[in-house]
Structure 1
């Protein structure tokens, strides 16, 4: 509806027919350049050879340090203080083309995966005029420094699970933000019941320090649901998600969780 309102041609691309559909788009539009942003599939070698120097990607992270399908996840999980967009030429290798333009933004300690993606999309829109000027001046970009290259695959099951005995409170808090909203939080488990931690806060003043990492130290409305983590750190589970819905952490008491209970290390 938005595309129709502004008379913008809209094409729904499928993986199976993407090459033919991209040809159609270019032939109809007569585009001088094609930009991809969070595009899920690799542009085929056939298309790259047919339209050399025409395709550019808006990568949501720094290159070559943050190659991969979801650099936003790794940026938040690792508590990096900044992120940005790298616009690079698309060639036959994923995330390895010449860098045309790179812009940075700070990553605050409360940013979720969704929030950072939104900020990066705004950044991408803001740098478009500068990018177009560079391309119109026939700027070919600079080669990436392979000695700085790091590749991060798409997060798997083990990446989104909490290990109370290996991760401290700040690490787990960062993981929950890295999983919010696309995974509805980071996984933990209690007696075979999957619970996802959506929002959490590292806390300092805890009276009860007993138990192994993963032990529930408090579970009431006044103090919330506080869990012991490694290195004698403590995390309050503010919002959780289960199949029963989103709820405050302390409300898990209605399902049988009690002080002294133990979350499983995944």
Structure 2
């Protein structure tokens, strides 16, 4: 057995999302997890944390943003953690803590750096039609997503991945890379500097980012957007007659639309053909599953609510309330 495997490094993890769960379970099973920190408002992850910590005696810290520095200082002092991993942690690690505990904090970024900086690279990777994504583990510095890279793992993106499916794939990738990561941290905790020439930053998705623009987006782009919004936003928004409708799942139709129809127009609405809508650049999209306040249902069932062939969805350009 290698020296790294025999050395039970103590790892504290700060997280805010289910994507961290397989890694947490792996670290706990290896006897490496010494503390878990979760923001106070995230009751779901706190409940899961209680299950892990009660069985193992691991410290669970309910974190508050206004006293984060003191809490992190105390957590490290009590547990003697060699490293602190952040996994979807929503708050910036205070500069005084980074200075005091040099080369101790590392972030699991669920996207490729420096090309996909920002709060939700999973959404942007799917929406943009990227061919691959992955996990980038980097040293945390004062500037968000800019520290030296310790390890980068690539994950191919298939055309049918939803936001939820990709989260699950990345969560298991995060657990599987732990052994290699610990070896790298032992041998080269400095890492490799990011190439700023390749850097791009994407803000957290706003309301306008999850709205369909039939006159500006072709069928392929709208289909990708619907997957990027599934399940966290219950689909991508459109409207008809002031009624919010979300496209959860859709299929690009390889047919040419009549030139006379305006994008957003319903070309078909029946059980045999489904709900087919004209999109930008003479493309067509079948809305397979939609979400409304009444529930999730097949697209063609909107006929019961008054939609019909020739009806037109609103071209949403602005942020919704």
TM range (shorter): over 0.9
Query: Tell me, what secondary structure is at the counterpart of 2:115?
Result: coil
Q: How far apart, CA to CA, are the structure 2 residues paired with 1:184 and 1:57?
A: 28
Contact 1:209 1:228 in 2 (8 A): no
Residues 1:115 and 2:165 are matched in the alignment: yes
Residues 1:197 and 2:247 are matched in the alignment: yes
- CA displacement, residues 5-59 of structure 1 (integer Å, 9 cap, x when unaligned): 3443322222222222222221221100000011111101111112111000000
Contact 2:136 2:152 in 1 (8 A): yes
Deviates more, 1:210-219 or 1:172-181: 210-219
TM-score computed with the length of structure 2 as normaliser: 0.80
Q: How far apart, CA to CA, are the structure 2 residues paired with 1:209 and 1:249?
A: 24
* Alignment partner of 1:34 out of 84, 90, 101: 84
Write 1 or 2 for the structure with the bigger share of helix: 2
Which residues of 2 match residues 1-266 of structure 1 at below 5 A?
A: 1-3=50-52, 4-205=54-255, 210-266=260-316
**Deviation at 1:206?**
7.0
- Match of residue 19 from structure 2: none
TM-score computed with the length of structure 1 as normaliser: 0.96
* Superposed CA RMSD: 1.4
- CA displacement, residues 152-179 of structure 1 (integer Å, 9 cap, x when unaligned): 0111111111011111101000000011
Q: 1:74 to 1:177 in 2, by over 3 A?
A: same
**Deviation at 1:138?**
3.9
Contact 1:208 1:217 in 2 (8 A): no
Count of matched residue pairs? 266
**Deviation at 1:2?**
2.5
Q: 1:224 to 1:155 in 2, by over 3 A?
A: same
Contact 1:209 1:217 in 2 (8 A): no
Contact 2:136 2:149 in 1 (8 A): yes
Gaps of 5+ in 2: 1-49, 317-321
Q: How far apart, CA to CA, are the structure 1 residues paired with 2:262 and 2:240?
A: 15
- Match of residue 7 from structure 2: none
